[in-house]
Amino acid sequence: MAVFKGAGVAIVTPFKENMEVDYDRLGEIIEYQIAEGTDSIVICGTTGEASTLTHEEHLECIRYTVEKVNKRVPVIAGTGSNCTQTAIYLSKEAENHGVDALLVVTPYYNKATQKGLIAHFTAIADSVNLPIILYNVPGRTGCNLLPQTVATLVKTVNNIVGIKEASSNISQIAELMQLTEGKIDLYSGCDDIIVPLLSLGGIGVISVLSNVAPRATHDIVDKFLSGDIKGSLDLQLKLLPLINSLFIEVNPIPVKKAMNLMGMKVGPVRMPLTEMEPANAERLLKELQAAGFKTI
């Protein structure tokens, strides 16, 4: 059984002006997401600035989210690291806090061979009793999880059940689904190609767009899976200019700016990320307004 079908939000981590995590605001955002039909909350991923959270903050965000969601939708925790032992530690702690699944990114900076990736993910999976969703985002990690490697993991590790694919390589993703014989839950990691990945057998998206447009992102997937392919595609294409503006600078700079423009008060990004360039912010504002969103 899939961890979830539909749209999972790669939720931002709101900060106060002093850069402390704003848990009250996080709770408000979670409530908004659930009310708007989001199918899963993904906490402490790339969009959540996990790379600049301390381990204590990371785990407290997970604990808080599990408690706030209270089983209304699945909670998936990002627990990846370029250090296998750190990933195991975070994964075990997340399991203790009651998450429903883990999202584990490929090792970054030190990378790994494909043999090393098999060893890395197997060790993490063996340390917990939770379903694991692999996360392939070579543009950020410099490490590409190849289709044959995924097929090996799916066939040899029982609790590796899904993959968030953010390589944007449609040919690679098609090969992945062919080699795994469709026995993996495929989630788009790119908001601009949700429909193409669904057409390859995908069952959802783990989305940045969902932070600002949760209902619409849910509907893209729901329409497709319900057989309304044209309705799904029309919505995907309608939102494409906004999606593109949400990635005009490195994520999550634009999405946090968008949420602040919409009055959600999620605060700043942590260094080394910096505030959005004025010209890019103006473009983002125009695309939000063109898509029908109220701004302040």
Catalytic residue among 68, 164, 223, 257: 164
| 223 within domain boundaries | yes
Catalytic residue among 71, 89, 135, 155: 135
| Residue 135 bears catalytic tag | yes
Q: What is the pLDDT of residue 250?
A: 98
DSSP reduced 3-state for 119: helix
Helical (H) or strand (E) element with 40:
strand 40-43
Q: What is the pLDDT of residue 248?
A: 98
| 125 within domain boundaries | yes
What DSSP letter does each residue of 120-165 carry, written as one string?
HHHHHHHT-SS-EEEEE-HHHHS----HHHHHHHHHH-TTEEEEEE
Mean pLDDT along residues 281-287 = 98
Cα–chain-centroid distance for residue 150? 19
- Burial (CB < 10 A; 0-12, 13-18, 19+), residue 169, is middle
| Secondary structure of 79-111 in HEC code, one letter for each residue | CCCCCHHHHHHHHHHHHHCCCCEEEEECCCCCC
| 173 within domain boundaries | yes
Q: What is the pLDDT of residue 190?
A: 98
CATH value at residue 77: 3.20.20.70
Diameter over CA atoms, the chain: 52
Give, in order, the Cα–Cα distances in Å from 58 to each of 54, 108, 286: 6, 18, 34
DSSP reduced 3-state for 42: strand
Q: What is the pLDDT of residue 182?
A: 87
Q: Which residue do the tokens 């070579």 mark?
A: 138
Ramachandran angles phi, psi of 41, nearest 5°: -105, 120
Tokens of 179: 């080699």
Domain extent for 126: 6-228
Q: What is the pLDDT of residue 1?
A: 81
**Residue 200 burial (CB count, 10 A):** 17
Quote the number of domains for the chain. 1
Per-residue pLDDT band at 127 (split at 50, 70, 90): very high
* Residue 66 and residue 75 in contact, taking contact as beta carbons nearer than 8 Å: yes
| 254 within domain boundaries | no
- Burial (CB < 10 A; 0-12, 13-18, 19+), residue 140, is middle
Per-residue pLDDT band at 56 (split at 50, 70, 90): very high
Mean pLDDT along residues 274-293 = 97
The percent of residues above 70 in pLDDT, for the chain, comes to 100
| 193 within domain boundaries | yes
- The Cα–Cα gap between 234 and 19 comes to 39
- Burial (CB < 10 A; 0-12, 13-18, 19+), residue 46, is buried
Tokens of 197: 């990945």
pLDDT at 41 over 90: yes
Bridge partners for 8 per DSSP: 40, 206
Tokens of 242: 């906004």
Q: Which residue do the tokens 């990945």 mark?
A: 197
Tens digits of residue pLDDT in 73-119: 999 999 999 999 999 999 999 999 999 999 999 999 999 999 999 99
Tokens of 182: 């469709």
Tens digits of residue pLDDT in 174-203: 999 999 998 999 999 999 999 999 999 999
* Residue 117 and residue 89 in contact, taking contact as beta carbons nearer than 8 Å: no
| 263 within domain boundaries | no
Per-residue pLDDT band at 228 (split at 50, 70, 90): very high
| 256 within domain boundaries | no
pLDDT at 152 over 90: yes
Query: What is the chain's mean pLDDT, rounded?
Result: 98
| 188 within domain boundaries | yes
